[in-house]
């Protein structure tokens, strides 16, 4: 409805305000640009940053704000003189090794080790098993990367910066395993050691070699998204008293995805009505009278004012009340705000069924 609060609509659809969206796109652009050591933008932004420090009234452009956030000694970024893809020959880029993503073995099975040995002996007899792993124990902590070669009792472990992703940690362990095998011309063996590699990766978080002490740009792209969510959460808390106060009590945090993304079978009408109920701007007699579409707030049943709770729970014109569809463990009496705050059972499916039975259009 036109009366719906914009800040609430943005959160309901997980579509950030434009000024935050622009900053997010600027952050991603700068992070991609900063990997190029000779990028002309870096020198110009450095000059602009120094020139604007003395001007208190200067409104910082988005890209300069990105520069001030990410270009600092505490955030060492791996830079290249040219795009990394051009450091490899064409044959390596087109080579497609055989990769088995699933051996059909459940790692939690007590026979997993035995089954893996049999698979290796059958298909890879004479090959050398090398085990790799990466681990991150806590948010904001370092990433440990490890390579374990049981045949030679060789352990390689590396401590990567906190902003590194586990994906990069896994890639580092694979790179080091390949480089070690290539430089030592290794032969054959067949003893699995996956758990050892996992343990070594966890130990590498504190005691690993700091060989990889810089962050790759693709890991920082998630940092831009984190900045967006934190800024948006602050904006939501600051604006809730001006608009969207009712909705804030239902949706205090920014969700990862809109709730209706999981409800693929819901009709557009059902989604619209539930969104209106969550925002507190549904086509009830009370709200329609408030925005001067109706002359009276009295419900069509004539019993009392047509509030949202009356229309859903108490109106005598209903085929069934919403109470009839709620589980018995839900306390009575209740209201629509409490229902929408529930996590289990899903309030959306209950409301969809209620709306269909009563053919309500709110």
Lowest mean pLDDT among 12-16, 22-26, 66-70, 84-88: 84-88
Contact assessment for residue 144 and residue 208, using Cβ atoms and an 8 Å cutoff: yes
Is 28 in contact with 226 (CB distance < 8 Å)?
A: no
Q: Is the domain of 313 the same as that of 350?
A: yes
Based on the domain organization, do 203 and 227 belong to the same domain?
A: no
For residue 340, pLDDT over 50 is answered with yes
Q: Tens of pLDDT along 178-194? A: 888 888 776 744 444 66
**101, part of any domain:** no
Model pLDDT, residue 114: 83
Residue positions counted in the chain: 362
- Is residue 283 domain-resident? yes
d(CA 320, CA 309): 14
- pLDDT for 193 equals 60
* Alpha carbon distance 70, 23 (integer Å): 13
Query: Which structure tokens are listed for 294?
Result: 């109706």
Is 20 a domain residue?
A: yes
Task: Please report whether residue 90 resides in a domain.
Answer: no
The answer to whether residue 93 sits within a structural domain is no
Q: How far apart are alpha carbons 362 and 355 in whole angstroms?
A: 9
Least confident of 20-34, 109-123, 142-156, 322-336: 109-123
Give CA–CA dist 244/102, Å, rounded. 48
Residue 360 in this model has a pLDDT that exceeds 50: yes
For residue 222, the model assigns a pLDDT of 84
Q: What is the mean pLDDT of residues 43-58?
A: 78
Do 336 and 271 lie in a common domain? yes
Q: Which domain holds residue 238?
A: 6-77+217-250
Do 171 and 238 have their domain in common? Answer: no
Tell me whether residue 294 is in a domain. yes
Q: What is the pLDDT of residue 191?
A: 41
Query: Between 56 and 63, whose confidence is greater?
Result: 63
Q: Is 147 helix (H, G, I), strand (E, B) or coil?
A: strand
pLDDT the model gives residue 316? 92
- Note whether 244 and 324 are same-domain residues: no
Are 274 and 339 part of one and the same domain? yes
Structural domain total, the chain: 3
Identify whether the C-beta of residue 7 lies closer than 8 Å to the C-beta of residue 203. no
- The pLDDT of 43-48, averaged and rounded, is 88
- Predicted confidence (pLDDT) per residue in 145-191, tens digit: 999 888 888 899 899 888 888 999 999 999 999 888 888 776 744 44
pLDDT for 247 beyond 90 = yes
23 vs 76: which has the higher pLDDT:
23
- In sequence order, what DSSP letters do the residues of 180-210 get, joined into one string? HHHHHT--------HHHHHHHHHHHHHHSBT
In this structure, the answer to whether residues 302 and 351 fall within a common structural domain is yes
pLDDT band at 253 (very low <50, low <70, confident <90, very high): very high
CA 181, CA 16: separation in Å to the nearest integer? 48
Instruction: Examine residue 83 and state whether it is found in any structural domain, yes or no.
Output: no
Between 5 and 214, the higher pLDDT residue: 5
pLDDT over 90, % of the chain: 44
Q: What percent of the chain has pLDDT over 70?
A: 95
Pair 243, 275 in one domain: no
Of the residues 197, 230, 250, the one at which a domain ends: 250
| Sign of the Cα pseudo-torsion (87, 91, 93, 97, in order) | negative
pTM: 0.75
- Strands (DSSP E) contained in 54-107 are none
Tell me, yes or no, whether 267 and 285 share the same domain: yes
Residue 333, preceding peptide bond in cis (omega within 30° of 0)? yes
Compute the mean pLDDT over every residue in the chain, rounded to the nearest whole number: 87
Categorize the per-residue pLDDT at 51 as very low, low, confident or very high, splitting at 50, 70 and 90.
confident
pLDDT at 164: 87
Binned at pLDDT 50, 70 and 90, residue 207 comes out as confident
pLDDT in the model for residue 298? 94
103 in a structural domain: no
Helices (H), 53-139: 62-70, 90-94, 112-123
Question: Quick one: 192 and 225 in the same domain?
Answer: no
Is 221 within 8 Å of 215 (Cβ atoms)? no
Answer yes or no: do 265 and 243 share one domain.
Answer: no
pLDDT of residue 188: 45
State the pLDDT at residue 190.
40
State the pLDDT at residue 325.
93
Based on the fold, state whether residues 317 and 233 are members of the same structural domain: no
């Amino acid at each position: 409805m036109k009366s719906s609060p914009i800040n609430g609509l943005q959160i309901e659809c997980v579509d950030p305000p434009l000024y935050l969206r622009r900053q997010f796109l600027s952050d991603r652009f700068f992070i991609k640009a900063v990997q190029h050591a000779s990028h002309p933008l870096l020198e110009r932004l450095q000059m602009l940053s120094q020139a604007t420090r003395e001007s208190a009234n200067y409104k910082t452009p988005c890209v300069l704000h990105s520069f001030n956030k990410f270009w600092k000694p505490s955030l060492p970024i791996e830079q290249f003189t040219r795009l990394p893809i051009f450091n490899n020959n064409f044959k390596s880029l087109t080579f497609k090794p055989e990769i088995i993503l699933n051996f059909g073995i459940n790692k939690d099975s007590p026979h997993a080790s035995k089954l893996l040995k049999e698979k290796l002996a059958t298909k890879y007899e004479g090959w050398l098993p090398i085990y790799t792993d990466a681990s991150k124990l806590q948010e904001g902590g370092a990433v440990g990367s490890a390579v374990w070669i049981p045949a030679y009792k060789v352990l390689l472990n590396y401590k990567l910066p906190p902003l590194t992703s586990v994906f990069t940690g896994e890639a580092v362990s694979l790179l080091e395993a390949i480089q070690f095998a290539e430089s030592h011309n290794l032969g054959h063996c067949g003893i699995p050691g996956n758990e050892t590699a996992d343990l070594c990766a966890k130990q590498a978080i504190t005691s690993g070699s700091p060989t990889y002490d810089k962050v790759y740009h693709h890991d920082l792209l998630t940092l831009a998204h984190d900045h967006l969510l934190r800024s948006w959460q602050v904006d939501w808390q600051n604006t809730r008293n001006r608009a969207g106060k009712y909705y804030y009590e239902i949706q205090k945090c920014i969700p990862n995805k809109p709730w209706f993304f999981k409800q693929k079978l819901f009709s557009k009408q059902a989604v619209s009505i539930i969104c209106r109920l969550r925002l507190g701007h549904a086509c009830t007699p009370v709200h329609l009278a408030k925005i001067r579409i109706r002359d009276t707030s009295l419900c069509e049943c004539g019993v009392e004012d047509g509030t949202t709770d009356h229309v859903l729970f108490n109106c005598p014109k209903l085929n069934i009340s919403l109470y009839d569809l709620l589980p018995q463990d839900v306390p009575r009496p209740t209201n629509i705000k409490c229902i929408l705050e529930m996590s289990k059972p899903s309030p959306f499916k209950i409301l969809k069924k209620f709306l269909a039975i009563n053919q309500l259009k709110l």
